[in-house]
Structure 1
Amino acid sequence: MTARLLLQLAGVFGALGVAIGAFGAHALHDTLAKAGRLDTFETAVRYQFYHVLAMVAVGVLWAARPELRSLGTTGWLWLGGIVLFSGSLYTLCFTGITKLGAVAPLGGLLFVAGWLSLVLAVREL
């Protein structure tokens, strides 16, 4: 991973977050609400955006301080967290497959690991 790639991935996942969020809020709002999954959907979108914004901040820091290469680990962990946490919740909301909800905690662990890796990566600042 490079700072550029991290920022590009943040852009892609930010765009996906907007598209998925808009689709859910407009085209699927009533369906999600009737299924009792609107809160789950909104949680998935919210956590995706939190971590996309964090990826942008880390990417900018890494571009300014390229010697902090371990920031790449932080980016990968957050990216994995988005895919597993938000992705499993989106899948649950769109398909009703409840077994995939068990994947969400793994994504949550990746989010936490990413934040802890950030602590380690910037200890020399």
Structure 2
Amino acid sequence: MKMLIILGAINALISVAAGAFGAHGLEGKLTEHYLEVWETACRYQMYHGLGLILLGILNGVTGTTMFNAAGIVMFIGIIFFTGSLFILSTTGIGILGAITPIGGVLFIAAWVMTIVQVLKI
């Protein structure tokens, strides 16, 4: 429970810091396209950081370990999705775009796991 909330808060923090860095430190250094990619990474990191916090709270309230499993899947999704987009936007290495959908699928899987578990309660 605590670990998911902590991971969620850390990811929210990184999202805010990366967003500020993108807006102020990368402006003029990246193309408009790659600035948008950077913003997408920040946005999805925040969404799923909040998702991790929610899963930690649900785990604490229900004691159900499936929320922990969904949190692990979601966290790995953050690494794949936002990590690949951050690297892609700063390096332009196009092959990294092939990794991003893996993170997206992990996000979807984590949300499906959450829905299924809530329906079981």
Query: Which residue is equivalent to 1:110?
Result: 106
Q: Deviations over 1:67-120 (max 9, x none)?
A: x11101110111011100110000001111111111000000000000111012
TM-score, L = length of structure 2: 0.93
Query: Which residue is equivalent to 1:57?
Result: 54
Q: Deviation at 1:124?
A: 2.5
How many Å separate the matches in 1 of 2:89 and 2:46? 18
Identity %: 38
Structure 1's unaligned 5+ residue stretches are none
Number of aligned residues: 121
Structure 2's unaligned 5+ residue stretches are none
Query: Which residue is equivalent to 1:25?
Result: 23
TM-score, L = length of structure 1: 0.90
Structure 1 stretches of 4+ moved >3 Å? none
Q: Deviation at 1:38?
A: 1.4
How many Å separate the matches in 1 of 2:101 and 2:53? 24
